[in-house]
Structure formats: C-alpha cells, structure tokens
Amino acid sequence: MFLFIVASIIIQYFAVVDNCGKKDFFRLTPDVYPTHYDLQIRQDLEKLTFTCIEVIQIEIKANKSSLKLHSLDLNISSVTFNGNIDASISYCKSEQT
C-alpha cells in the first residue's frame, strides 16, 4: 500500500507549462527534468487520510514562467523557487491543476 501511495503522489506531480482551460493529457516537457524526490508521508489509519511533505528538485533547461502540477485532492500549502518563498500558487478546477 505504501508503494502505491508514493507512486500516486509522484504521478500527480508531473507537469508542463500551459494555460487554464485545456484538458489535454500532459507530462513534463523534455526541458524539465526531476533530479531528486524526497517524500515524508504520515498516515492516519483511523481517518483513512495521509499528509505528505514532498520536495522535488528539478532541472529546467529552458526559460519558463510557470509549471503546471496535477493537484486533484491535494492541498499545496507552499512553493519555493531557488530557495525563495515568493513563488505564487494558482488552481484551475476544470483541469484539476
């Protein structure tokens, strides 16, 4: 079960640059490459929920102004970029991103 949860979380975080409104299937573009994943998962078996702290280190080989992440049923509380916490978060409900 643990491996399934980890795999699900990793799959949900693949992303690409795009605008809200499209529902096309997407993955990371070839110029965005994850180099390391660090996951901390805490399960609550009574409530059948979990919390996760995830750090993904990525290498971006082209200029980008945004990244799109799958976020269905996820609450993303903060984002940092190059160690700075000034990165903004926006959601697109129709795309679940």
Give me the residue spans of the domains in the chain. Answer: 1-92
What pLDDT digit, counting tens, does each position of 54-77 carry? 888 888 888 877 777 777 777 777
pLDDT at 75: 73
Measure the CA–CA gap between 26 and 37, rounded to whole angstroms: 20
Global pTM?
0.52
Do 54 and 65 touch, CB atoms closer than 8 A? no
Below-50 pLDDT ranges, the chain: 1-18
